[in-house]
Amino acid sequence: IFIRREGSKHHQTSKFGIMPTERCEELIALTLQSATNRGYKEDFETIKKIQECCKAFTEDDVKALCEKATEAFIQDGVLAMVDAPVTIVGDVHGQLYDLIELFKIGGIAPQKNMLFLGDYVDRGYYSVETVTILFALKVKFPKRVTLLRGNHETRQVTQVYGFYDECMRKFGSSKAWGYYTSAFDFLPLSAVVDNSIYCPHGGLSPHLNTLDEVRALESHCRKEVPHEGAVCDLLWSDPEDGISGFNMSPRGAGYTFGEDTVEKWNQTNALNIVCRAHQLVMDGYNWNHNNKTLTVFSAPNYCYRCGNLAGILVVNENSSVEQYEVRSFSDAPRETVTNKPVPREMPDYFL
């Protein structure tokens, strides 16, 4: 999709942040190295080092990192403004090997802006490593990396779908989980890319008509996500073809929304498309509403059994022309894990 734009944009120079601990600095170095590896053997070696680095994190290290990340989230506000070129990433769900593959395919900060649409934890085996990497990238490159809140970045959901159990297993107590989930409260709820793409984790809300109304949520969204209302809708709603308006969602939270609601939202706010995550789609991406709504899902072979591709949206800017490019990729090879945890049985609402 090519969209003609007027004039050119000057990008704000990325300012490198100060890492709170030496372990955080080491983790950043290993992550950037992983994006330049030339083979899976090198990937395995780097991922082992990443796992060892994260294993060495103490609860005080996690607390320091989460405090610095929270400061960066507050600076972004409830509605983050993001410039192109940018790689937009959907759910990653603790799939560390696939996150490293994603960095190779979509680029990594500081060379390119990155926008993550939420759901960093749960389901996968490496939620702690995944969210720690993303928090560290945000602290190191605060102007280049934007993290949004997904419906899994809550206390209630993470206690059911794996992140709490993983923190207990890897740290021996719930303190680290408490630090991470407290930081989740300050993640932005949505973003706008180049004044043309609206990016929530889930979708639209019948309680919101303008971007200013999203910004107005600042005063009462820095807490656990409620079971209903505008904040809940942004994280839980889904697009659906063939319907009008907003309808009750089978998820039990949020709504399904039709093409007419997207047309009205885009027209009112001078936007072109809505790009969101939240739903498993087998090709890694899916267009709804006559190409007005795009879903990207970035966890390939979700839950290590669904067989889906992953997708990302790369928004390139070239003079007065802005290009949207969707890239798909399959799951990365993983070394045989002999001592992987046996997760407790979980409800499959997401599938």
The secondary element (H helix, E strand) that includes residue 74 is helix 59-76
pLDDT on residue 72 = 97
pLDDT on residue 221 = 83
pLDDT on residue 13 = 39
Question: What spatial distance separates the first Cα and last Cα of the chain, rounded to whole Å?
Answer: 29
Q: By the 8 A CB rule, do 147 and 117 touch?
A: no
In tens, the pLDDT along 275-309 reads 999 999 999 999 999 999 999 999 999 999 999 99
pLDDT on residue 336 = 62
3-state secondary structure of 308: coil
> Which residue in the block uniquely carries the two structure tokens 């934007």?
146
Distance, in Å, from the CA atom of 236 to the CA atom of 108, rounded to the nearest integer, reads: 27
Distance, in Å, from the CA atom of 227 to the CA atom of 40, rounded to the nearest integer, reads: 42
Name, in order, each residue with C-beta under 8 angstroms of 28's C-beta and a sequence gap of 6 or more.
19, 136, 137, 140
pLDDT on residue 14 = 42
Per-residue tens of pLDDT for the chain, all 351 residues: 433 333 334 344 345 688 988 999 999 999 999 999 888 899 999 999 999 999 999 999 999 999 999 999 999 999 999 999 999 999 999 999 999 999 999 999 998 899 999 999 999 999 999 999 999 999 999 999 999 999 999 999 999 999 999 999 999 999 999 999 999 999 999 999 999 999 999 999 999 999 999 999 987 788 999 999 999 999 999 999 999 999 999 999 999 999 999 999 999 999 999 999 999 999 999 999 999 999 999 999 999 999 999 999 999 875 334 578 999 999 999 876 544 554 555 555 444
3-state secondary structure of 286: strand
Q: Choose the catalytic residue: 10, 11, 93, 152.
A: 152
Q: By the 8 A CB rule, do 87 and 115 touch?
A: yes
Length of the chain as a residue count = 351
Distance, in Å, from the CA atom of 86 to the CA atom of 73, rounded to the nearest integer, reads: 18
Helices H, strands E: what count in the chain?
A: 11, 15
Please list, residue by residue across 95-122, b when 16 or more beta carbons sit within 10 angstroms of its beta carbon and e when fewer do.
Answer: bbbbbbbbbbebbbbbebbbbbbbbbbb
Q: Which two tokens stand for residue 77?
A: 């506000």
pLDDT on residue 38 = 84
* Active site (annotated) includes residue 152: yes
pLDDT on residue 324 = 87
Q: What is the pTM of this model?
A: 0.91
Chain-centroid distance, C-alpha 225: 16
Distance, in Å, from the CA atom of 326 to the CA atom of 320, rounded to the nearest integer, reads: 20
Helix, strand, coil shares of the chain, percent, nearest 5, are 35, 20, 45
